[in-house]
Amino acid sequence: MKKKFLCIIAALALLLIFPLSGCGGSDDTAEIEATVNGFMTAMQEGDLEGMKEYADPAIFEENGSLSEFSTIENMDEELAEAVGVDVSALSDTTKDAVNKYVNKMLQNLVTAYEITEVTETDDGVGKVKVTTTYGFDPEKGEEIDVNDEIEAMTTEYMTENMSELTQIYSTGGQEALMSKVLDDMAGQILDLYADAIMQTGEVTQDSVFTVENKDGKWLITAEDALE
């Protein structure tokens, strides 16, 4: 009887020991996965502000692994600099054309994604592998050449509107002229480029997200493409 009682005590001890030993470590993989899932869902929806909720702000800065999103977000400034005017000179018409282009790019960027592996290193850093299907090939963006189409478009525009453009330049100078040209042409040129990049076709990319705990909140701190 005593021997049986001791066996029961030993069994109870084991039941207590094993759960407690499992609680000694830290498994944050569920939160790590939720962070990347939230980020990718926002990206798939074209929601740049939503993406920022799950990422360290540094990742979007100049040397960050997702710095291209800052370029997209500030495209009106990029356009103004390219044509040599202050961004304040851009009209609402031009800004609307830029926003339309940016939204089209973001909303078609990611068509699907799958989280394939979630791990946490010994020093508490999350590593999440993701397979992403893009609606177009971002790498081919800089290779797209629509210069001939743009030249033909602008030549026709200048020919048809030379008198008005000359008058605008005479009374308002270069900035007024560029503002008028952008109002009339920016939307057409951006649509032309958007159509060209959409024709690059879908592409699939495997990548690894690094996720770190920053002041009690898990945030993506890097994204690295896998070969």
What pLDDT does 49 receive?
92
Is residue 75 included in any domain, yes or no?
Answer: yes
Q: How far apart are CA 78 and CA 51, in angstroms?
A: 22
Is residue 18 included in any domain, yes or no?
Answer: no
Please state the rounded mean pLDDT for residues 4-24.
42
Is residue 156 included in any domain, yes or no?
Answer: yes
Q: Is residue 111 classed as helix, strand or coil in its secondary structure?
A: strand
Range with the poorest average pLDDT among 94-103, 139-148, 174-183, 193-202: 139-148
What pLDDT does 22 receive?
43
Is residue 67 included in any domain, yes or no?
Answer: yes
Is residue 197 included in any domain, yes or no?
Answer: yes
- In Å, what is the CA distance from 8 to each residue of 12, 13, 14, 126? 6, 9, 10, 41
Tokens read off for 176: 């007024």
Q: Say what percent of the chain tops pLDDT 70.
A: 89
Say which CATH number the domain at 155 has. 3.10.450.50
Is residue 155 included in any domain, yes or no?
Answer: yes
Please state the rounded mean pLDDT for residues 55-69.
84
Domain that holds residue 199: 27-225
User: In sequence order, what are the beta bridge partners of 209?
Assistant: 128, 223
Is residue 19 included in any domain, yes or no?
Answer: no
What confidence tens digit (pLDDT) does each residue in 82-126 have? 878 888 888 899 999 999 998 998 999 999 999 999 999 999 999
Is residue 12 included in any domain, yes or no?
Answer: no
- Mean pLDDT over all residues of the chain? 85
Q: How far apart are CA 134 and CA 68, in angstroms?
A: 15
Total domains, the chain: 1
